[in-house]
Amino acid sequence: MAGTIRKEILKVVLRETNEKEEKKKEAEAPSKLDTSNSTGGFVAVSTDIMKYTSVYPDKPELNVILADEPAPWKNLLYYFEIYVKDADFKGKIAIGFTLALFLMNIEPWWEDLIAGHESSHGVLYSGDEDTGSTFLSGDVIGAGINYSTNEFFFCKNGELVHSVPNNLSNRGLYPTIAVLSQHEEMHVNFGQKPFAFNLKDFEARERRKQQQKIEEISLSPQVTYSLIRSYLLHSGYEDTFNSFDVVPSSPITDEQTNTLNHRSTLRQLIMNGNVDGAFAKVHEWYPQIVEVGSQLCIYLLHYYGCYKFELIFKLAYEMPLEVLANAVNAFVLSTDPHMEEAKDCLHSPLERLLKQLTACKRYEGEDFLVEKEFSKRD
């Protein structure tokens, strides 16, 4: 059991030491309407000007066109606008977001979508149904997604006029324009030009709301205290732990205190550059993990691709001292029979929490930098 844990520890230590973040290619943002992604009838005059003319001169016809890319979802907001240059007096224009695949079968969903009702295909907005207000020539209409509140929002001439809950997946939602008319002309703005709607202010307000939500979470002092305590204990900072732990929370259940003195000594030796001394102590105190030095070297050899045997031991000494100290600390913790998983030896709950936040933030498209976040004065 302990052997397996130690193998796990090695893998993680080495992966972390050499973690090279690949810059993921950011998803393209919509830049133009795509005539090939439409029900037909649209003509692109330029990348941002669209004309629609019905092939049937007598009756209005339903047509829909999508942007060339879906809305990027790793942001707080996404927004685009159209300027209605020429609205057909009999017609109706709607703007919003839809899933690409449903273009083939739009007719049955049109009424639902156009009313701004929730649908499994998206949401389109065509003005205020109650007042009968529709979009006229000269209007600037905007549609956006607020990812923090999970809502679609719609604007008219720079004012926020409508919002609808978003129960769809955030991915694959295409900016969409639909017309039920005979001919119109519209100019599309995907952010190439300033918007009529003040998106910057809106975003700042949303961020403030989000920050408030964060600050409203109440924490008991016990939570923060125990996280710090477990970190000091886990990492082997014995003196700090002893001065901090004035009222020991649970001295009996802390298996890690058994090895605290040894781990503290080993960390000090390594951090002072006395790696030989540290390995000698490991040899003396924990013969069962005496292979830690050579195992580390073999893994390093494999990782760095050094094939000359005489370089093996050199590598252990070129490893950052903090990394080596953490690895040895984890190995010593692995001797405890209560340690069932490698993660318990490798990281304290505080470190896991920080990893978790970093991972979540990256997933949401933000690079989370502790330094930037936490050096800010309130």
Partner 1 sequence: MDLDPRQYENLAVNDNDIHNIVLSYLIHNCYKESVESFIACTGAKQPTDYLEDMDKRKRIFHFALEGNALKAIELTEQLAKDILENNKDLQFDLLSLHFVELVCSRKCTEALEFAQTKLGPFGKEPKYMEKLEDFMALLAYKEPEKSPMFHLLSLEYRQQVADSLNRAILAHLNLPSYTAMERLIQQATVVRQCLSQEAGKDGPPFSLKDFLKS
Site for partner 1 in 167-206 (CB under 8 A): 170
Write out the two tokens for 153: 């929002």
Give the whole-angstrom CA distance, residue 106 versus residue 63. 9
- Backbone phi, then psi, for 372, in 5-degree steps? -65, -45
340 is an interface residue for partner 1 by CB under 8 A: no
34 touches partner 1 (CB under 8 A): no
- Which residue, among 363, 324, 287, has the nearest Cα to 14 in the 3D structure? 324
Sole binder of partner 1 in the list 15, 200, 207, 283 (CB under 8 A): 15
- Using the Cα atoms of residue 294, residue 300, residue 305 and residue 310 in order, give the sign of their dihedral: negative
What gap in Å lies between CA 130 and CA 132, rounded to an integer?
A: 5
Question: Which among 51-59, 98-106, 120-128, 364-372 is the span making contact with partner 1, rule CB under 8 A?
Answer: 364-372
- Residue with smaller CB distance to partner 1, 193 or 208: 208
Q: Which stretch binds partner 1 (CB under 8 A): 11-19, 30-38, 128-136, 308-316?
A: 11-19
- Assess 350 for contact with partner 1 (CB under 8 A): yes
- Selected binder of partner 1 within 19, 58, 107, 201 (CB under 8 A): 19
Tokens matching residue 311: 């370089």
* Interface with partner 1, residue 207, by CB under 8 A: no
Residue where the block lists tokens 């685009």: 80
Q: How far apart are CA 42 and CA 33, in angstroms?
A: 10
DSSP string, 156-184: ETTEEEEEEE--S-STTEEEEEEEEESEE
Q: Please list every residue from 217 through 246 that binds partner 1, using CB under 8 A.
A: 217, 219, 221, 223-224, 226-228, 231-232, 237, 239-240, 243-244
Q: Are 265 and 281 in contact (CB under 8 A)?
A: yes
Of 101 and 217, the one with the shorter C-beta distance to partner 1 is 217
Min dist. Cβ of residue 378 to partner 1 (A): 5
Q: Does 208 bind partner 1 (CB under 8 A)?
A: no
Q: How far does Cα 129 stand from its chain's mean position?
A: 37
Which residues within the stretch 252-311 sit at the binding site for partner 1 (CB under 8 A)?
A: 267-268, 271
Contact 148, 209 (CB under 8 A): yes
Show contacts with partner 1 in window 75-94 (CB under 8 A): none
Is 152 a binding residue for partner 1 by CB under 8 A? The answer is no
How far is 358 from 343, CA to CA, in rounded Å?
17
Examine residue 364 and tell whether it contacts partner 1 (CB under 8 A). Answer: yes
Q: List the one residue from 2, 7, 16, 257 that touches partner 1 (CB under 8 A).
A: 16
Using the Cα atoms of residue 26, residue 30, residue 31 and residue 36 in order, give the sign of their dihedral.
Answer: positive
| CB 83, CB 190: distance < 8 Å | no
CB of 284 to partner 1, least distance (A): 23
Q: In the complex, which residues of this chain contact partner 1 (CB under 8 A)?
A: 12, 15-17, 19, 24, 148, 150, 170, 210, 213-215, 217, 219, 221, 223-224, 226-228, 231-232, 237, 239-240, 243-244, 267-268, 271, 322, 326, 343, 347, 349-364, 370-371, 373-378
